């Protein structure tokens, strides 16, 4: 898997909006903690493709749940 680098526009936004960036990072970390146990088998098997696919699906579901609560 290739590591993507942030472009200069994204870096500038982070520098200009550190509070919003930090809040979003914390929010996503809490969501990931909710389903990290489901990802564990993929991590142990070192199945990066399966891990990434399941991660995206689970993150999307958790974000939808969060939006419904608000």
The pLDDT of residue 2: 60
pLDDT for the residue 69: 66
Distance of CA 47 to CAs 4, 21, 32, 43, 62, Å?
Answer: 19, 29, 18, 6, 22
For residues 54 and 62, the answer to whether their CB atoms sit within 8 Å is: no
Domain locations in the chain? 38-70
Q: pLDDT means per 10 residues in the chain (70 residues)?
A: 75 92 88 83 87 87 75
């Amino acid at each position: 898997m290739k590591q993507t680098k942030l472009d200069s526009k994204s870096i500038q936004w982070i520098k200009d909006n550190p509070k919003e960036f930090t809040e979003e990072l914390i929010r996503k970390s809490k969501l990931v903690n909710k389903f990290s146990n489901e990802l564990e088998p993929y991590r142990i098997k070192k199945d990066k493709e399966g891990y990434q696919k399941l991660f995206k699906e689970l993150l999307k579901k958790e974000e939808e749940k969060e939006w419904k609560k608000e």
